[in-house]
């Protein structure tokens, strides 16, 4: 079944406003900053029979990673190993693991069975309150529990408690924090069984951030512009905590006519500048524009409301090697300026998964990728040597 996302968008009359979002439309990528090639020595599965991908740490309110008893707590998407790794998204659960000097330890599914109001658990973020006990997991609820299969995405938060043994429990009832309005943000249930990869409309990936200038809490997220009928209408949205409620704000960045998915957006503040990172892939660029590589991208601003300007002139921070374009994906920037991701299709040597389905399983990593660091220099963000 083919899927034309433009048919489901909700335009606002003849308006061409972009609600103040800063535009990302790179004109050139030149010689991209390239990550080292991933080799067989890097592909070290953590859990037999389980694929792991998008990951994020439990962080303090200032963004720094929480360390308890010498270990960092990490949330990772997980699914059973399947013949086609792309099917993992249909079974995704959030897993809780910890990492320390002796490597990884598994703590099982982060949330109890039956707690999620959807059918799958997709990516988000997690913050430990300054009381040192209250953990809030922000995550994407995909589909609806007990309903027909769909790609509907909703933003939820759920509170738990961190105990002295660095375990998280006493999870409360998940609550929806904001709802797509159909004006700025597409609110599309996407009840399509087999959408074309890269065409799904987004309202996902909530990433928590406290603005050091104002003290306000925000979440940024992957979204799609409801005011545009372009098939490639990726944007980064924001919501702000006002008292006890979350308020949906105007989008920060738009890539209409350029790219359909600005995924896993996250914010860091360095030397008074705000850096907004996201991940994207070559196949989600519009065929009518310059396509960049699979990589980590970013824009920078002097305040969270913008205007935002592309770092390094074009927004590209780190790219997969040209001869291994899909070796890693879903980069997350920590408060320590480390960048974590997962190993995707590695060692392909120019072969594509579409043309070589026999390699789908054997060359999918499904495990954390080598970590690298960033260095900030004003409007430049570089891979640290």
| Residue ranges of E strands in 163-294 | 168-169, 175-178, 203-210, 217-224, 234-242, 245-248, 253-254, 263-270, 273-280
β 316-319/328-333 pair status: unpaired
Nearest to 176 by CA among 124, 236, 226, 253: 124
pLDDT per position as a tens digit, 240-267 = 999 999 999 999 999 999 999 999 999 9
DSSP state of 35: P
The range of the structural domain enclosing residue 279 comes to 5-383
3-class DSSP state for residue 67?
strand
Q: Which of 72, 5, 23, 59 is nearest to 236 (CA)?
A: 23
> What is the C-alpha to C-alpha distance for residues 224 and 215, in angstroms, rounded to an integer?
28
What domain count does the chain have? 1
Residue 188 is predicted with a pLDDT of 67
Count Cα neighbours of 148 within 13 Å in the Cβ-side half-sphere.
6
What's the pLDDT score for residue 189? 56
**pLDDT tens-digit series, residues 223-240:** 999 999 999 999 999 999
pLDDT score of 5: 32
Give CA separation, 66 vs 58, 60, 289, 326, in Å. 6, 6, 41, 30
Instruction: Concatenate the DSSP letters of all residues of 181-215 into one string.
Output: -SSSB-------SSPPTT----EEEEEEEE-TTT-
Residue 14: Cβ within 10 Å count: 5
Helix (H/G/I), strand (E/B), else coil: 5 = helix
- Kindly give the parts of the chain with pLDDT less than 70: 1-16, 188-195
Q: What is the predicted pLDDT for the residue at 13?
A: 35
Whether this prediction's pTM lies above 0.85 is answered by yes
Q: Find the CATH number of the domain harbouring 340.
A: 2.115.10.20
Q: What is the signed CA dihedral for 154, 160, 166, 167, rounded to 10 degrees?
A: -80
* CA–CA distance, 25 with 315 (Å, rounded to integer): 9
pLDDT in tens, 154-197: 999 999 999 988 889 999 999 999 999 999 999 865 444 556 77
């Amino acid at each position: 079944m083919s899927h034309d996302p433009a048919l489901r968008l909700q335009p606002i009359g003849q308006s061409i406003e972009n609600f103040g979002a800063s535009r990302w439309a790179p004109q050139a990528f030149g010689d991209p900053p390239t990550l080292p090639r991933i080799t067989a020595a890097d592909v070290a599965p953590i859990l037999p029979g389980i694929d792991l991908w998008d990951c994020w740490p439990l962080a303090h309110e200032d963004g720094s990673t929480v360390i308890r008893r010498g270990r960092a707590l990490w949330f990772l998407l997980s699914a059973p190993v399947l013949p086609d790794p792309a099917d993992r998204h249909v079974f995704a659960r959030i897993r809780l693991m910890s990492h320390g000097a002796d490597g990884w330890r598994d703590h099982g599914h982060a949330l109890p069975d039956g707690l999620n109001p959807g059918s799958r658990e997709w990516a988000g973020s997690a913050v430990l309150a300054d009381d040192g006990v209250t953990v809030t997991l922000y995550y994407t609820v995909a589909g609806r529990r007990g309903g027909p299969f769909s790609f509907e995405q909703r933003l939820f938060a759920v509170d738990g408690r961190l105990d002295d043994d660095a375990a998280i429990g006493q999870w409360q009832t998940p609550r929806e924090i904001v709802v797509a309005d159909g004006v700025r943000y597409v609110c599309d249930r996407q009840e399509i069984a087999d959408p074309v990869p890269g065409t799904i409309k987004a309202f996902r990936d909530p990433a928590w951030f406290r603005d050091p200038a104002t003290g306000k809490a925000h979440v940024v997220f992957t979204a799609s512009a409801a005011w545009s009928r372009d098939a490639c209408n990726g944007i980064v949205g924001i919501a702000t905590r006002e008292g006890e409620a979350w308020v949906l704000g105007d989008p920060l960045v738009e890539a209409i006519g350029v790219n359909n998915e600005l995924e896993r957006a996250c914010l860091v503040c360095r030397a008074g500048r705000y850096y907004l990172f996201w991940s994207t892939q070559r196949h989600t660029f519009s065929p009518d524009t310059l396509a960049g590589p699979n990589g980590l991208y970013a824009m920078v601003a002097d305040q969270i409301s913008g205007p935002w300007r592309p770092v390094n002139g074009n927004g590209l921070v780190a790219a997969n090697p040209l001869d291994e374009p899909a070796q890693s994906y879903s980069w997350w920037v920590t408060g320590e300026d480390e960048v974590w991701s997962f190993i995707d299709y590695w060692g392909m040597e120019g072969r594509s998964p579409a043309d070589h389905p026999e390699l789908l399983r054997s060359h999918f990593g499904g495990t954390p990728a080598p970590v690298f660091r960033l260095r900030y220099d004003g409007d430049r963000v570089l891979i640290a040597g």
